[in-house]
Amino acid sequence: MKISIQELNKVYPNGKHALSDINLEIENGMFGLLGPNGAGKSSLMRILVTLMKPSSGRIMVNDLDLSKNRGEIRKLLGYLPQDFRFFSKLKTWEFLDYAARLSGIKNKKIRLQKVDLWLEKVGLFDSRDRSASKLSGGMKRRLGIAQALIGEPKIIVVDEPTTGLDPEERIRFRNILSEISQTEAIIILSTHIVGDISSTCHNLALLDNGTLGFNGSPPELIDLAKEHVWQINTSGVEYDLLKDKYPIISTIPSEDGWEVQLVADEIDNKNAIALEPNLEHAYVYFMEYLSKEQMS
């Protein structure tokens, strides 16, 4: 499976450029789409799942042009949108059955087996007869992922999947996705939560203001932030100065004041200790410095 995005642009009728000249290659495995709110992630996703037309550019899925072969490409898709609610009158299993039917599973016996299997997988088997609209937030997300995956799609698009989930649910969710990513499928995970990506994605793209800032593996992104992440123990007055000058990643109260972690191209503080960056540090560094440099 390979998705090739070429010179993709999306301009809304109000003139807003949601996507500008995006070029991306996505291959099997989990692909993270990272960026702040409004960066164009959802626009890209909606174009990918054929809900929206791009203004220009092309998306090829293997050899198929997305704009000409929606029918074939839709057969490959599994999609979980950000704000996922239900037809209020359907039961949990019915909703899954509905999705399974639409994904083309015609044999009733096989379909019901799959429904049960997926209910088990996402831990909703006991709630199979509950009205889908009465499930908790986490359960709904799980049902959402189940409906997206039940037809064994080759391209799975998941938009902000962990928003509103408690940590336990989040871990469970990541595990499900990790499991799928072992198969011959592309999973595109759009998020603004770096943690969702760090543990699972082999590749990622960073979107900012509709443009592609970075495309590569997480270690490559982390490498960019090397020598640019610092920790400083500081007191009250200095903290205010630092805050104004550098993007702060975390602030932990200590005996003398605060233990502050920040990113900076260069730092003129003697107390600053260089830290080994992680993906979150790299993301902040990228957004605060590299992205702005690119823009300028």
Partner 1 sequence: MMSLHNLFTIARYEMRTLMRSWFFRIFAGLSVLGLGIFNIAANIPQSGAPLMYRVLPASLPYTNLLILNLGQAIVAIFLASEFLKQDKKNDTVEVIYARSMTNGEYILGKALGVLSVFFFLNLAILILGTGFSFLSGDSAKGIVEYLYYPLLISLPTLVYILGLSFFLMVLLKNQAVTFIVLLGYIAISIFYLDTKFYHLFDYIAYQVPMMKSTIGGFGNLQEVLIHRGIYFFIGLGLVFFTVFKIDRLPQSRKMTSFPIYLTILSLAAGIYLINSYIDIKRGNETYTEHLLELNNSYAGYPRLTTDSCKLELTHSGEEIEVRATMSLSNQTKSKIDTIIVSLNPGLQITELQANGLRTDYYREEQILKIIPKKVVEPDENYLINIVYQGHIMEHTHFLDQSMDDYEDNFSFEMFRIRKRYAYILEDFVCLTSGALWYPISGVGYASDYPALHTPDFTNYDLTVHSRPDLQAISQGITDSIGPGSFHFKPEVALPQISLVIGDYINYSITSDSITYSIYTIDGNQFYVEHFEDFTDSLPGLIREIKNQYEAEIGFSYPFKRWSLVEVPLQFSLDKHIWSISSDAVQPEMTFYAEKGVVLEETDFRKRKEREERRMKRNNEEISEAELQTRIFRRFAEGNFMANHQEWYMHDDMDRNTLSLFPNYVTFITQMRSEQWPILNLSMQAYLKDRNANAVSSYRWFFQDLSDGERINLELKEASLEELLVSGIERAADKDNDDQIDINDVIIAKGDHLFTLLRARYGTEDFNDFLNELVDQHKHKTFSLLTFDSLLEARFGSSITGEIADWYSKNQQAGFLIKEMQTYKVLEDERTRYQIRFKIANPEASAGLVTINVDLNNPNDRRRRRGEDIVPDFSRKVYIPAHSAKEVGFVFPNEPTRMNIFTHISENLPNNIIYDFGSFHEIKKLATFDTIIDYPVFDHIIAVKEIIVDNEDEGFEYNQVLQKSYLKTLVDKNKKPGYKYEGIRYWSPPNEWKSVLRSGFYGKYVRSAAYTKSGQNDRTAIWTANLPNAGMYDVYCHVEKINVNRRRRRETRKSDYNFRVYHESGVDDIHRADSDLENGWNYLGTFFISSPTTRVELSNKSVGTMVFADAIKWVEND
- CB closer to partner 1 out of 70 and 130: 70
Given a contact cutoff of 8 angstroms between Cβ atoms, the answer to whether 261 and 249 are in contact is yes
In this chain, which of 72, 120, 179, 223 binds partner 1, going by CB under 8 A? 72
In this chain, which of 8, 33, 80, 221 binds partner 1, going by CB under 8 A? 80
Query: Does 53 help bind partner 1 (rule: CB under 8 A)?
Result: yes
Residue type, 68: K
∠ CA 106-109-111, nearest 5°, is 55
Smallest distance from partner 1 to CB 8, Å:
16
CA dihedral sign of residues 212, 36, 50, 105: positive
- CB closer to partner 1 out of 118 and 286: 118
In this chain, which of 2, 27, 87, 254 binds partner 1, going by CB under 8 A? 87
Angle between the 92-102 and 108-121 helix axes, to the nearest 10 degrees? 120
Given a contact cutoff of 8 angstroms between Cβ atoms, the answer to whether 203 and 32 are in contact is yes
Query: Does 58 help bind partner 1 (rule: CB under 8 A)?
Result: no
Smallest distance from partner 1 to CB 45, Å:
10
Smallest distance from partner 1 to CB 102, Å:
4
Binding string, 273-292, against partner 1, x = CB under 8 A?
--------------------
Query: Does 106 help bind partner 1 (rule: CB under 8 A)?
Result: yes
Site for partner 1 in 122-181 (CB under 8 A): 144, 147-148
- CB closer to partner 1 out of 191 and 215: 191
Query: Does 55 help bind partner 1 (rule: CB under 8 A)?
Result: no
Smallest distance from partner 1 to CB 214, Å:
27
Given a contact cutoff of 8 angstroms between Cβ atoms, the answer to whether 187 and 42 are in contact is no
- CB closer to partner 1 out of 151 and 213: 151
In this chain, which of 4, 9, 82, 269 binds partner 1, going by CB under 8 A? 82
Q: By the criterion CB under 8 A, which residues form the site for partner 1?
A: 46, 49-53, 68-75, 77, 79-87, 89-90, 94, 98-99, 101-104, 106, 144, 147-148
